[in-house]
Amino acid sequence: MSIIFIRTFIFYVITVLSLRIMGKRQIGELEPTELAVTILISELATLPMQNIDIPIIYAVIPIFALVAFEMLSSVFALKSSVFRTFLSGRYNLIIEDGKINQKEMSKTQLTMDELMEELRKGGALSPEEVRFCVLETSGNISVLLKKTTNVKTFPLPLIVDGKPVKTNMKKLGFSKIDMINELQKRGISSFSQVFWMSVCEEDISVIKKDEN
Amino acid sequence: MRIKFISSVIILVIISAVMISGLFFIKSESETLVRFIEKGEYGEFCKEYDKSRIWLSFLINGEKIALVDKQVEKLKNSNADSDEITDLKAEISGWLLSELPSVENIF
């Protein structure tokens, strides 16, 4: 049984890793860990059903172990942005203000035909009509048209769950002092009190963490 | 989130408890059965095996149980020769080894 438990953990890690390597577009609606668990559980449940020589406990233990791994990984993902990125990846900005980011397209293995198909689904006939086209971590593609939004630059988070996002700070030219000044204007003294802070063109939006 | 974390830890603790108690049960049961074989008390062996068979079938692969079942049936009918008894002893002694999480077993 303990062998099955250890093997379950190994296969859980292998399945999540292989789904991450395959990329977002193969995933669809689910997060990689959710998909891994779904695939593994369905397989585990069918084995003792078909083969009566396999004790039921050989399936019950790995199924509950997978559920526990999934719950733990979602808790860790909520706590750590590094772990969250490792598990789910990041969104990819495919089109910004009508311009296609070819590097991002090749990185995500998205062909022009597939992109055009998604744009048509989003109500655009050409990339010039699109303000933002984003490949989300779930594998879905979001299309925002120029006619529906006046925002020209993609909104980026500066603080997520009390932690500053350094890459975005660098991209937007924000120093820690600038951010502290902005927070102090809103009566907030430290980053840990901030749940979300983002910049969209000139607008800075801040959401304070709940007290409890 | 805290509830999710606590429940996942509880699940892992229960799984570990089931696994460890399962291993201890296999260990003590196989030792008892082997002792009966070594002493030549085959009647007691069959009685003990029948008593614990249901629990063993929860913990050990069905093929292994079926193998022992066949040998026990022969013992009950006094048809087992010494080679078969040696095989039975080896089979039962191997239960724990086959369930232990060693590198060979995992990979």
> What is the pLDDT, as a whole number, of residue A212?
58
Top-confidence residue, A155 or B107: A155
> What is the pLDDT, as a whole number, of residue A24?
61
Place of tokens 């063109």: A201
**Assigned token pair, A77:** 């993902």
8 A C-beta contact, residue A58 and residue A4 = yes
Question: Which contiguous run of DSSP H or E holds residue A93?
Answer: strand A92-96
* Cβ-based contacts of B100 with chain A (< 8 Å): 2-3
Interchain contact, B19 vs A5, CB within 8 Å: yes
Min Cα–Cα distance to chain A from B106, Å: 6
- Give the one of B12, B61, B99 whose C-beta lies nearest to A68's C-beta: B12
Most B-contacting residue of A33, A75, A83, A161 (CB-CB within 10 A), to test interface: A75
DSSP helix, strand, coil percent of chain B (3-state; round to 5): 85, 0, 15
> What is the pLDDT, as a whole number, of residue A29?
66
CA distance B19 to B16: 5
C-beta pairs of A35-38 under 8 Å, 24+ apart in sequence? A36/A12, A37/A12, A37/A66, A37/A67, A37/A69, A37/A70
The per-residue pLDDT for range A152-193, each reduced to its tens digit, is: 788 888 898 888 888 888 888 888 888 888 888 888 888 888
- Give the one of A1, A57, A64 whose C-beta lies nearest to B11's C-beta: A64
Most B-contacting residue of A1, A41, A74, A161 (CB-CB within 10 A), to test interface: A1
Interchain contact, B11 vs A71, CB within 8 Å: yes
- H-helix segments, chain A: 2-22, 32-50, 57-79, 81-88, 102-107, 112-121, 166-172, 176-185
> What is the pLDDT, as a whole number, of residue A154?
83
Task: Kindly list the domain boundaries of chain B, sorted by start residue.
Answer: 2-106
A53 has a chain B CB within 8 A of its CB: yes
Q: Any idea what the Cα angle at residue A202 is, between residues A193 and A186, rounded to 5°? A: 30
CA distance B10 to B24: 21
pTM over 0.95: no
Centre a 10 Å sphere on the Cβ of residue A182 and count the other Cβ atoms it contains: 16
B61 has a chain A CB within 8 A of its CB: yes
Q: Is the pLDDT of residue A83 over 90?
A: no
Cα nearest neighbour of A70 on chain B: B8
To 10 degrees, what angle do helices A57-79 and A32-50 make? 170
Query: Strands A163-164 and A203-208, how do they pair?
Result: unpaired
CA distance B11 to B7: 6
Cα nearest neighbour of A78 on chain B: B1
> Residue A10 — very low, low, confident or very high, per pLDDT cuts 50/70/90?
confident
CA distance B81 to B71: 10
Which range among A2-6, A130-134, B56-60 shows the weakest confidence by mean pLDDT? Answer: A2-6
B14 has a chain A CB within 8 A of its CB: yes
Q: Is the pLDDT of residue B76 over 90?
A: no
Q: Residue B49's closest CA among B25, B33, B71? A: B33
Cα nearest neighbour of B20 on chain A: A2
C-alpha pair distances (Å), B7 with each of A34, A64, A71, B4, B13 = 18, 11, 8, 5, 10
> What is the pLDDT, as a whole number, of residue B27?
92
> What is the pLDDT, as a whole number, of residue A22?
61
> What is the pLDDT, as a whole number, of residue A27?
60
8 A C-beta contact, residue A191 and residue A163 = yes
- Mean pLDDT of the A20-45 span: 75
> What is the pLDDT, as a whole number, of residue A134?
93
- Mean pLDDT of the A146-156 span: 82
Q: Is the pLDDT of residue A95 over 90?
A: yes
